[in-house]
Structure formats: structure tokens, C-alpha cells
């Protein structure tokens, strides 16, 4: 089942903040024998967020979405998810209870008697307004939950805050609670070499021939111009079905030997 990542926020696109979610999600998936199939960045534009979610919810992908689920004017993700589904946002009863628990904790830590009916606290409950039919994702950092939506053919979208300290354990919860049946179900292998001082165009016919001969394998080529410590080189490799990777990698090395190329294993 394909896995995607949507990262929402003007601050990422403007460069005010550097995205840390992409490498972490790749790491979390890899630990579980999974891999990311696609990723997208979207700014805080409601129409674009809604269009993106409507498109991704039309399939059966598992999608993790970070950012925009707060209750400030630039947070639109909750409403956009509801619009993409054609349902209203409603206050989730369990989310309400957890947000009220958080507000009570904060008041008591400050030595105050909690008053959940103040305008500020009533506004905070908006963070528990999710698309009708959504479930909640527990937040171990401050108890204010995210939410998830299941859609056709087993797909689902999981929505978390943009803060890594909250988002990452929430994504782990989603993986371990809802996706464990997928862990290490797809056999996967990857092998590569560094090839020095040879043009990528010279190797392209060989790469195409290997993919044609081994249909369960992808050939990849990552060129580098080099630096003061490394000569110009290409990381050339194969990935996919473990059995076919063995054959494809052997074929690749044999062809490199035929070219009299200088290379070493990675």
C-alpha cells in the first residue's frame, strides 16, 4: 500500500524553518520495513490544501500530514480535510475531554483553580473540531490530539501538528497501532557501487537493459561532481525484489568490468 507525506506550512516554503519531518518519517518507516512513495509541500492556502487532500483521499494511500491543525487564523488543515470529504467539522467528544484535561493541568501547575469556561479556553476547544467521523491520535507531549480519517479501500490520512516533538510520536503511534500488518511484508534489497570518472550517458544503455531483464528491480544513478575529498563519481545501484537484485547487481558489475570502469562497493 503506497505511503505518502504532506507537509503544510508557509514557514517551510519561505525558508523560515527547515523541514525535519521528511528524513524522520523515512527513518520511522525504514525501521518497520516500509518506505515512502511520495511527498508534497503545501503552503497555508486553504484552496490548495483542500484540492491536495481531495486528490490524495481519492486513492487508497496511507498519508501522514503535518501542520495546520491548531486554532490560529493561519491553521486551515482541519477545515480543509472536512471540505475535501464533504462533511462538517464537529467537536470530537474524546478530543474535548483531553483538551480540557490539558487546560486543567496547566491551571493547577500555575497554582490556579481551572476555569474551563473562559473565552480563551472555549477557543482552545476548536483544536478538537475534526471532520465528522474522524478518530483521534493521542499526543503524549501535551494531550491535545491529532486526528485520522479512513477512506476507501483501506487508505487513511493521519493529521498531526507541525511541531516535531509532537508529530513524530504521533506518527509512530499511527504506524504501530494501525499499520503493523504491513511491517516487513514487502521483501526489499538494495545494492550499489561508486563508479569513478565515467559519464552517466555511457552507462545508460546498460541501466536500461538491466531494468528490462529484471522487471522487479529499479536501477538508480546518483552522480556527484566531487569535492576536495572525493573524485567525480556516480553511485550506481539496483533496488527491489531481493532475488532479482542479486542477479541484477551481478550483471551490473560484469558490465562495469567490461567497460574497464573503476568502482567500489558502497
User: Taking every pair of C-alpha atoms in the chain, what is the biggest distance, in angstroms?
Assistant: 79
Average pLDDT of the residues in 214-238: 92
Superfamily, domain 3-182 = MoaB/Mog-like domain (3.40.980.10)
Band the pLDDT of 171: cuts 50, 70, 90: very high
Q: Where are the domains of the chain?
A: 3-182, 189-265
Q: Is 143 left (phi over 0), alpha (psi -120 to 50) or beta?
A: left
What percentage of the chain has pLDDT greater than the value 70?
100
pLDDT digits (tens, 9 = 90+) for 148-168: 999 877 799 999 999 999 999
Same topology, domains 3-182 and 189-265? Answer is no
> Cβ distance 139 to 170 under 8 Å?
yes
Half-sphere exposure of 135 (CA within 13 A, CB side): 12
- Look up the CATH number of domain 189-265: 3.30.70.2860
Tell me which residue has cell 525535519.
20
The HSE-up count of residue 116 (CA atoms within 13 Å, CB side) is 11
* Cα(214)–Cα(216) distance, integer angstroms: 6
Positive or negative torsion for Cα 158, 87, 123, 121? negative
Cell numbers linked to 120: 480563551
Amino acid at each position: 500500500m503506497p505511503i505518502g507525506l504532506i507537509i503544510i506550512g508557509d514557514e517551510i516554503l519561505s525558508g523560515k524553518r527547515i523541514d525535519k519531518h521528511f528524513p524522520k518519517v523515512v527513518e520511522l518507516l525504514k525501521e518497520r520495513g516500509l518506505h515512502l512513495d511520495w511527498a508534497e509541500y503545501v503552503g497555508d492556502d486553504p484552496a490548495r490544501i483542500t484540492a491536495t487532500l481531495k486528490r490524495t483521499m481519492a486513492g487508497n494511500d496511507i498519508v501522514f500530514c503535518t501542520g495546520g491543525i491548531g486554532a490560529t487564523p493561519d491553521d486551515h488543515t482541519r477545515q480543509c480535510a472536512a471540505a475535501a470529504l464533504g462533511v462538517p467539522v464537529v467537536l470530537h467528544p474524546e478530543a474535548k475531554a483531553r483538551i480540557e484535561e490539558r487546560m486543567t493541568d496547566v491551571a493547577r501547575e500555575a497554582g490556579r483553580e481551572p476555569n474551563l469556561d473562559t473565552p480563551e479556553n472555549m477557543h482552545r476547544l476548536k483544536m478538537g473540531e475534526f471532520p465528522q467521523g474522524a478518530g483521534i491520535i493521542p499526543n503524549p507531549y501535551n494531550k491535545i490530539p491529532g486526528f485520522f480519517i479512513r477512506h476507501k479501500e483501506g487508505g487513511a490520512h493521519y493529521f498531526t501538528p507541525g511541531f516535531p516533538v509532537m508529530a513524530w510520536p504521533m506518527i509512530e503511534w499511527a504506524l504501530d497501532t494501525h499499520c503493523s500488518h504491513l511491517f516487513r511484508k514487502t521483501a526489499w534489497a538494495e545494492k550499489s557501487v561508486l563508479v569513478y570518472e565515467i559519464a552517466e550517458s555511457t552507462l545508460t544503455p546498460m541501466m536500461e537493459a538491466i531494468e528490462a531483464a529484471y522487471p522487479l528491480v529499479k536501477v538508480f544513478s546518483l552522480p556527484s561532481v566531487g569535492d576536495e575529498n572525493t573524485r567525480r563519481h556516480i553511485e550506481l545501484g539496483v533496488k527491489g525484489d531481493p532475488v532479482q537484485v542479486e542477479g541484477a547487481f551481478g550483471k551490473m558489475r560484469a558490465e562495469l568490468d567490461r567497460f574497464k570502469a573503476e568502482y567500489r562497493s558502497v
